[in-house]
Structure formats: C-alpha cells, structure tokens
Chains A and B, each alone.
Chain A
Amino acid sequence: MFLKVKNLVKNYSSEFPIIKDLSFSVKKGELISFLGESGSGKTTFLKCLAGLEKANSGLIELNDKILNDHKTFESPQKRKIGFVFQDYPLFPHLNLEKNITFNLKKKYEKNLDYILDLTGLKFLLERFPYELSGGEQQRACIARALIREPELLLLDEPFSNLDSTIKESMREEIYKIIKKTKTTTILVTHDINDALNISDRILIFKAGILQQYDNPVTMYCEPANCYCAEILGDMNKLFHKQDTYYVRPERVRVSNKKSKYKVHVEKCYFQGKEYKVKGKQNNEIWHFFSKNPLEENKTVYVDFGEKDLIYFDPVCKNFFK
C-alpha cells in the first residue's frame, strides 16, 4: 500500500478526542474522498498527514517511508505532500508565477510549462492573487502543489468557496489533472456529490472513527450503518416483515397497479429531467422520483425490488444521535 495509516489518535484534550482510532490504506494513484460533517476532524486529519499537527499516536507511512510513529516525526518541510487549503492561501505579495514557483527546487522547474498548460493558467502569470477569480486561485494552489511532484496531494474542501455554476466544471477539471498526473489524492469534503462523482473510494468518518471505506457504488447501495446511509442521500423508512427497512428514493417506482405501499403526495418538484416527489407513507416522510407530474394531496402506489431494501440494527439511529 502506498499510504498506510494505522491506529492514528489525535486529541487536544483527552476528554474530547478528535480522531479516536483511524486505520486505512490507499493505493498509488487512487483518489479517496474523506467524508464527514463540519467540525468532525477532517482538516485536523489532513494536517496530521502533512505534519502541520502532531498526532498523539499511530503510524503514518507514505511510499514505504515512516512519517509518524512513536519515535519518528518527519517535519512538514520534509514530507513530499502537497496541501491545497480551503481558502486558497496564495501569497498576496507575489504574482501567480512566483506563487507557483515559491521555494521550488531547481529540479522541478522543468514542470512549470506542463503544469500551467494542465491548469490553464498560462496567460495569467503576471497577475496578483486579488486579480484572479476564485476558480483561478484554486487552480493556482493546485498547480503550486503539483509542480513539486508530491507523493500525496491533500485537498481540503477545494470546492466549498466556489459558486454552483463553476463548481461542477472545476470538479471535472481537477479530476482530469489528478488522474493525468497519477497523483495519489485525499479529498476532504462534506459534499456528497464531490465524493460520489470523482472518488475511487470514499471514507466516511464520524465520532472520531472510520465508519465505512469502500467504492462509491457499494457505499451508496450497501451502507455499513444508518449514518453512512444518510450521509450519502435520502432514505425512505418502511415496515416489512415486522422489521424496519430503508429504501433509496432512486429505487422507488411509481406503479400503475395497486401495491402494498401507498404514498400520499404532499409536494411535487420539477427538476428538469423528472419530478422529485415528497409524500407520506405510513406517517413516514418519503422521497422518490417520477417521470410525470403527480397531483398533490392524491394517493399513488409505489413499488421496489426486495433486494433494494436496506436493513440496520435498530440501535443504530440512537447510537449516532
């Protein structure tokens, strides 16, 4: 494994550990999304990887080199890790070119043209940070990180400061750059679409421990617990064979025939390609999609396959509360 994290613990006070025990590994060239709520310790974890925070205990190994364990602490200056921060901290006194080549070793200078081509910044070199748009600043930060050929790239919520119109194109662009340079990347985000769209694997982190770590399809269809299920999208609750089950809105079909499940339609939202319907099934709020508009305050029948049902331990919900 290219990156190995084992039993990592980080706390500022022993009463409130931020990372209780984290173990996972990443293959070379993989793009991993690290998903968790705001304040769950995602950025702290990235800082531990980069050496900007010292972990209390645990092992971090990158490309067969130990960066952190009980007797080693490699300083951030010596780790070959690129870090793109959430607020795009370009140095305000330097133009774009000087920002990208800041403190750059001679051997990497040859990468400049390639990186500029890749990030589309070739014609903005003389501009100062305040003369760049949010997207350009973000690409500049990525260029600055990639030009040094990092073994690991850390992206801390890189799309959170962008408006929705450019967010999607930026996401695709960055995905292309990372894959083209075959850079192993950890993307920290709280946006499910970021994680589902571009990740090779997703890691869900809650209450200081790893909840699930798998590819996006498995994560979505076979969530390990109710927290993982809910964080990746809406869930409809139902009672089946004297137990509580859940089904994803995408699996629910509007049925022309009478079926076991009746939904009282409360609202029908037009979303371009189809309609998103909100209604009540057996006093539980349900969401699903319909190709045709459904009349509000009317009852419709819905259906789904038995294999689409997801079951969790009944204590799961209370546990995460």
Chain B
Amino acid sequence: MLVILPVFILFFSFFSSGKETLFYLFDTVLLDYTLNTVYLIFLTSFFALIFGIFPAWVISNYSFKGRSFFDIALYLPLAIPSYIMGFTYIEILSFTGPIQTFVRLNFPSLSNILNQDYLQIEVLGIILGLALYPYVYTASRISFSMIGSNYINISRNLGLSNFHSFFKVVLPLSRPAIFSGLFLVIMEVLNEYGAVKYFGVNTYTTGIFRSWNSFGDVNGAIQLAFILLVVVLIFFLIERLSLKKSRFYYNKNTQLNIRYASSRIKSFFYWIICLIPFGLGFFIPFIFILNNSLDTFYLADLSKVINLTWNSVSVSSIASLIVIFFALFFLYVERISKSKINFYISNTISLGYALPGAVIALSLMIIFRDSLLVGTFGLLFFAYVIRFLAVGKSPIQSSLEKQPETIDDTGKNLGLGPLSLLQKVHLPINKFALISAFIVAFIDILKELPITLILRPFNFDTLATQTYEFAIEEMLSLSSIYSLIIIVLGSLMLLILKNYIDKQIDVSKS
C-alpha cells in the first residue's frame, strides 16, 4: 500500500483541487508540454533502437577482433547519467569547445557552418538515445542469444539472405524483448529532468518543477503530475497489450553458431557498428570529462569532493540495501505463499518504476508536508524504494524463477521452515542475483536526480545534485570532477555486475 501511495495521493489531490488551474494549463502550456514530450520520446526511441539493436545483433552473431571488449563496453553508457551526457555534449559542441576551436583554427571557412545553437530538442533526442540505448541493447542481446542460430539457419535454408533473415525472422521474434527495453527508455525520458531543463525543452517533468519551484503553484504541479501519470499508464498498458499479443513461445536455442567475419571489410564494418554507440555514448564524453577534471583539478575543493562522494556512496548503498530487502521480501512471500493476492501485490509495487521521480517526490511532499519527515533521509529512502523496487526485484525474480518448486519442497521435506529455507537455500543459491540487484539499484540511485533534488535533507548534497547545480549555473568544467566520480563508480559497478552475471550463468548449469 505504501508503495502505491503516491498514485492514490495524486489521484485524490487531482480531483479535490480546483479545475481552474487545469483549464489554465489546457489553454497555455499543456499542448506545448505534450508535443515536446511525445516528440522527444519519438526521437530518443528512434536513436536508442538504432544504437541498441545493430550492435546487439553483431555481437550475438559474429566473431571479430574486439568483440569481447565491446560486449562489456557497450553497457558502459549506463554509468553516465543522461543529464551529464547532455551537459558534456553541449560543451563539446560549443563555440569554445574542442570541435569548433579545431575547425576555426584549421578550416576557418567551415567554422560558420558549425557555429549553431545546439540546445535543440533534436540534439537532445540523439544524446538521450546515446545515454539510454543500453536498455535496448541488453534486451536485444539476450533475445538474439536465446533465438540462437537454428531459426537463422532455417530461414537461410529457405532461401532468405542474412539481411532478410534478420528483418523477417529475428526482429519479429525479438519484438517483445526489444519493446520491453524500449519501454524502459520511454520511462526514462518521461522521468528525465536535468538534461531537458538544461536544453530548455518544456516537458511534463520540467513543468512540474517550474510550477512548483518558480511559481509556487502546487495545484498546477499536481495537475501536471497527474497528467504525466496518465501518460505513463497509457504507455504501460500499450506495453502490456503488445506483449500479450506478440509473446512467442519459441524453443530456446542455446547453441549459438557464431560466424567469423568473412572478410576484413566486414570485420571493420561490424567494428564500426559497435564503435559508434560506445564511442559517442561513453568514450568521448568520458575522455572529455576526464580532461576537464584534470584541467580544473587545482580548483576543486578536495574535502568537498570526498564528502560528496561519501554522501553519494553511503546514500546509494543504504537505499540499495533497503530496496533489495523489500524486493526479496515481496518475492519470497509470493513464492512460498503461492497466493494470487501476493502475486498481484508483488506486481503492483513494480509499477513504481514507471512513476517519474518528480511525481513520486511531489506526492510524498504533499502527504508529509506538515510532518517532521520532510527533509529527512527516511523520506528520501522511502522515495527511492518506491522508484527502484522494480529495479531490485528484476534480477532476484529471474534467479528465483530458475529454481524449480521442488527445491522448496525438498527443503521442507528435509525439515526446513520458511525462514531457514530462505537462509540455507535461497540466499546462497541466489546470492549472485542479490549482488546484481544491489549493483543495479546502486547505479540508478547514484545517478538519480529529481527525487534527490526535492527530498534531500537541508544542506545535503550528492555528486549528482552538485553536478547539476554547477551545470545549471554554467560552470560545467567545475562539475567535471563530480561527473567523473559518478561515471567511474558506475562503470566499476557495471564491470563487477558483468562478472557476477557470468558467474550466475555458471551456477545455473545445475
């Protein structure tokens, strides 16, 4: 109940507040917000699909130099928060940035062409596509691996070229997986605050913040949050319906028939397909931020850097622990009770991931505005749990589902009660999944911005909030050191995660 509390509160507040604000919103900004949000979703989805699907196909099916490196590296953009990606690219492309400076010095005639205003929604779409494509990449990579080579061999045997096999067989079979990856991308775009605000694109999320912070209009913020919630719900229903319609029950084929690139040109082509998303999505912004950090290192207040790193790491760690505790609790109760009600409860609380951070934060502020909880870590952690419970649940759930019910029955038959079954059987068997869940939640909370901005205790900053504040005040180079730490921490965690996922695959041999 507590987890879906924000939805109830928004629902209640929406219908109990006056309708004048709603009509005012309709007359003024709502169309603008809607069009911008939809256009941004379209652009981001398009680029996330391009950057995600093709490398996943190449990595799943071909062997070429650098394949194992790219298999890890293509996940790394997840370590860069989209707002940092946005700030960084704008600086790279700016008049004083490296590209324009280089062109001005070497090709003065071209400099005018490049001297543009890059704070455009289209540029933001590409940047968000680069930051978020790993969701599509991960889903496609798993799906392509599961489909394996049999279907491709059959379609080739039936006369289809590699190109046609991909579009006529592999893509349709992977549609549900790709769509669930895309759904996460769309949810992230709806949740996005830092980058859209920096680019001056008016979406629902920026509207909520503006109504509330700039105009002190709580009613307006509530109305917008509610409309955003309806938009989220529509996408959620579309996702469920489309999954229902196109869920294929194909035989999993673990025999991957990885083909060697037949020529150097093909090998180079595959390499380029992987290099573009990795280079643009991680390598270039990372090198640029690293360079900026080294340049401004002498200006940085080291004790503050250490302090904020500690804040971020401790808050993310504690919140992640709470998240996996609740995730495990709900999943285990659902498993041992086998009751439908618990199944529905466990699934309903996963909806929290579809709630934008700003909406969660706003609802909690409404609920607790007169209580002592405002501005405490308790409320902040509560909001993180609502938002990231599904993130923590996902790896644990898929690991638990791999264990047959007879494992539980055997445990009971050998004399174990529910708690000792959890302690002696499920915790050790699912330990890699628990660690994976912790890491995934940790990375997300480390990068999180809107909830932290609204609900953090007074005078409490994290790496994310500091990066955002410097960037918004046009002091991008000063924010680099904080961005760098987020990226390094996130990348390290992702590398550890990849290692654990491989180990998990080993355990599942049994």
Interface residues of B in 381-426 (CB under 8 A from A): 404, 406-407, 409-417, 420, 424-425
CA distance A83 to B413 in the complex (A): 7
Q: Give B431's nearest chain A residue, CB to CB.
A: A93
B406, B407, B411: which has the most chain A beta carbons within 10 Å? B406
Proximity string of chain A (22-60) to chain B, C-beta cutoff 8 Å, 1 when within and 0 when not: 000000000000000000000000010011100000000
Using Cβ atoms and an 8 Å threshold, which residues of chain A touch B416? Answer: 77, 103
CA distance A129 to B410 in the complex (A): 15
Q: Give A53's nearest chain B residue, CB to CB.
A: B409
Q: Give A104's nearest chain B residue, CB to CB.
A: B414
Shortest distance between the CB of B415 and any CB in chain A (Å) = 5
Given contacts A85-B406, A91-B425, A91-B429, contact A129 B510 (CB under 8 A): yes
Shortest distance between the CB of B468 and any CB in chain A (Å) = 43
CA distance A89 to B421 in the complex (A): 14
Does A128 sit at the interface, judged by CB under 8 A?
yes
Does A92 sit at the interface, judged by CB under 8 A?
yes
B413, B416, B417, B424: which has the most chain A beta carbons within 10 Å? B413
CA distance A194 to B409 in the complex (A): 25
Using Cβ atoms and an 8 Å threshold, which residues of chain A touch B510? Answer: 90, 92, 128-130
Given contacts A103-B416, A128-B510, contact A83 B429 (CB under 8 A): no
B509 A130 Cβ-Cβ under 8 A: yes
CA distance A102 to B424 in the complex (A): 9
A83 B425 Cβ-Cβ under 8 A: no
Does B272 sit at the interface, judged by CB under 8 A?
no
Given contacts A89-B406, A91-B407, A93-B428, contact A82 B413 (CB under 8 A): yes
Shortest distance between the CB of B423 and any CB in chain A (Å) = 11
Does B496 sit at the interface, judged by CB under 8 A?
no
Proximity string of chain A (69-91) to chain B, C-beta cutoff 8 Å, 1 when within and 0 when not: 00000001100011101110111
Interface residues on B, range: 20 to 34
Using Cβ atoms and an 8 Å threshold, which residues of chain B touch A148? Answer: 414
Does B507 sit at the interface, judged by CB under 8 A?
yes
Which one of A52, A92, A103, A144 lies within 8 Å of B409 (CB-CB)? Answer: A52
Using Cβ atoms and an 8 Å threshold, which residues of chain A touch B420? Answer: 103
CA distance A51 to B415 in the complex (A): 11
CA distance A81 to B413 in the complex (A): 7
Using Cβ atoms and an 8 Å threshold, which residues of chain B touch A76? Answer: 409, 412-413
Given contacts A47-B409, A82-B413, contact A87 B404 (CB under 8 A): yes
CA distance A50 to B408 in the complex (A): 13
Interface residues of B in 489-510 (CB under 8 A from A): 507-510
Which one of B412, B414, B417, B509 lies within 8 Å of A102 (CB-CB)? Answer: B414
Shortest distance between the CB of B178 and any CB in chain A (Å) = 31
Which B residues are within 8 Å of any A CB, using their own CB? Answer: 404, 406-407, 409-417, 420, 424-425, 428-429, 431, 507-510
| 14 residue pairs A–B, Cβ–Cβ below 8 Å | A52-B413, A76-B409, A76-B412, A77-B415, A86-B406, A87-B406, A91-B425, A92-B429, A93-B428, A94-B428, A102-B414, A129-B510, A130-B510, A144-B414
Which A residues are within 8 Å of any B CB, using their own CB? Answer: 47, 50-52, 76-77, 81-83, 85-87, 89-94, 102-103, 128-130, 144, 148
List 7 A-B pairs, minimum CB-CB distance, nearest first.
Answer: A92-B510, A130-B509, A89-B406, A85-B406, A130-B510, A129-B510, A93-B428
A83-B409, A93-B429 provided; 15 other pairs, C-beta below 8 A? A52-B409, A76-B412, A87-B406, A89-B410, A90-B510, A91-B407, A92-B510, A93-B428, A93-B431, A93-B507, A103-B411, A103-B416, A103-B420, A129-B510, A148-B414
